[in-house]
């Protein structure tokens, strides 16, 4: 990665997203910090610019729970930038209670998977034109207990927060493996990772404060955001992974993901379902 590189980091205003943005900004690269909240995003942007000394850092607002917002962002990004070297799909949500995206989908599946599915597909053209380029999906070891509930992917019945989270994280990995196959020969790689247990604000309900006490209590046993971001940063910057694709990383090393995550039939089904749910082909024809 050099000063000519352009990188997008989703969920960049806090936690691992902020730590990743900071580290990449210190390389001199142009970092686009993608945030849902303009207010929190501006505070994070100021911090990254101040600490990194890099003025080539940009805040762009996008709600991954809104397909229109994603489409609007992609159009604006393509107007501003002619290349994209690294796309880091880092943003994640896990909060108690069943919630829905603006498009009516279960929130965790809608943001953690569908939002990044649509964003990635809408940026593939510029990624391929910028090759060699990299796509990095932040997944989780929670995928091991996950199952894609194809008959009720929105978990309208039998919802639990962990069933939803594990499903979304398994979808992240199935998506990564399928994407890597589809991009073979383009010079664009796609990998995913498990960051480990990290003390972040994910899981805290900002309205009620739910999760704050638990997070503080367990914090001494968790990694810091910077530690959790280490593998993401490695995948974005290291020459060791030039040309490496379709892998699941933990602590900067490729490891096996769950048996279910290698099911090619499930990977195809989740891809086709995600296309239908996001209308990605329609958006790509704008």
For β-strands 248-250 and 253-255, DSSP reports them as antiparallel
Instruction: Pick the catalytic residue from 81, 105, 159, 165.
Output: 165
User: Contact, 151 vs 103, CB < 8 A?
Assistant: no
CA atoms within 13 A of residue 225's CA, in its CB half-sphere: 18
Task: Kindly state the helix (H) or strand (E) to which residue 61 belongs, with its residue range.
Answer: strand 57-61
Inter-axis angle of helices 264-278 and 116-129, to 10 degrees?
Answer: 100
Establish whether 165 is a catalytic residue. yes
What residues have CB less than 8 Å from 5, skipping those under 6 apart? 27, 29, 30, 85, 86
Handedness of CA 135, 138, 144, 145 (dihedral sign): negative
As a whole number of angstroms, the distance between CA 180 and CA 246 comes to 5
Residues with a known catalytic role: 165
């Amino acid at each position: 990665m050099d000063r000519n590189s352009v990188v997008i980091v989703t969920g960049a205003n806090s936690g691992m997203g902020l730590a990743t943005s900071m580290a990449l900004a210190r390389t001199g690269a142009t970092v686009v910090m993608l945030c849902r909240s303009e207010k929190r995003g501006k505070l994070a942007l100021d911090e990254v610019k101040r600490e990194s000394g890099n003025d080539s850092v940009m805040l762009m607002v996008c709600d991954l729970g809104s397909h229109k917002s994603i489409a609007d962002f992609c159009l604006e990004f393509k107007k501003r930038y002619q290349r994209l070297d690294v796309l880091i799909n880092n943003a994640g949500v896990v909060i108690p209670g069943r919630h829905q995206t603006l498009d009516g989908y279960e929130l965790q599946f809608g943001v953690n998977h569908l939002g990044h599915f649509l964003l990635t597909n809408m940026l593939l053209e510029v990624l391929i034109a910028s090759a060699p380029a990299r796509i990095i999906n932040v997944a989780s070891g929670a995928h091991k207990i996950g199952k894609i509930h194809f008959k009720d992917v929105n978990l309208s019945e039998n919802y639990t927060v962990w069933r939803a989270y594990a499903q979304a994280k398994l979808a992240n990995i199935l998506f990564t493996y399928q994407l890597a196959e589809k991009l073979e020969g383009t010079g664009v790689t796609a990998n995913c990772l498990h960051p480990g247990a990290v003390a972040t604000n994910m899981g805290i309900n900002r309205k009620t404060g739910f999760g704050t006490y638990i997070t503080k209590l367990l914090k001494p046993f968790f990694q810091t955001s910077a530690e959790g971001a280490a593998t993401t940063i490695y995948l974005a910057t290291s020459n060791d992974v030039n040309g490496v694709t379709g892998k699941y990383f933990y602590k900067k090393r490729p490891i096996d993901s769950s048996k279910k995550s290698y099911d090619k039939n499930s990977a195809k089904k989740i891809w086709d379902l995600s296309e239908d749910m996001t209308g990605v082909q329609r958006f790509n024809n704008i």
